Amino acid sequence: MKKIEVGRDMQLKATKTIAKDQFKTFFRDKVDLPDFKEQKKHGYFLQDGAEILAFFSLFPVDKNKYWLRAFVMKTNAPITLPVSIIQSAQKLTAHFGADELYILSTSPALDDLLKQLDFEKTYPPVIHEKQGNWWINKVLVVDK
């Protein structure tokens, strides 16, 4: 994967390339990820230098759509980190040649953030058994 610029000194690292124990260390048994193997396969660590600040997974729905399925941040992370995670997911979605990014929200705070980032509520749900508000962002892909 070509390097994706996230921000000053921040980098993405695909978790499928790291050892299972190293992946688990970030979560320290405090977070129980559903579909652990799939999360690792489709996941990324967001790092500031050598420090891992967050994890997120980006699942393909089809060739034009991705779902930001999970994100987990370290305690005391910078207040702007949720925005960095979402922007990273948008960049990866475009990098993969897709043009739609979906996020499932189950909190009013995330709903407010997604509105601010120009996401729009969408229906029907991308994954029917998942309850909450589904949001979509059309990602600009200029080299398709």
Distance of alpha carbon 41 from alpha carbon 18, whole angstroms: 10
What does residue 137 show for φ and ψ, rounded to 5 degrees? -135, 125
Domain at 10-138, CATH homologous superfamily: Gcn5-related N-acetyltransferase (GNAT) (3.40.630.30)
- Residue 103 has, within 13 A of its CA and on its CB side, a CA count of 27
| pTM for the predicted model, two decimal places | 0.86
* pLDDT tens string 46-72: 998 888 999 999 999 998 999 999 888
Cα separation of the two ends of the chain:
17
Residue 139 carries which DSSP code? Answer: P
Q: What is the pLDDT of residue 144?
A: 46
Q: How far apart are CA 142 and CA 12, in angstroms?
A: 22
Question: How does the average pLDDT of the chain come out, rounded?
Answer: 86
Sequence ranges of the domains in the chain: 10-138
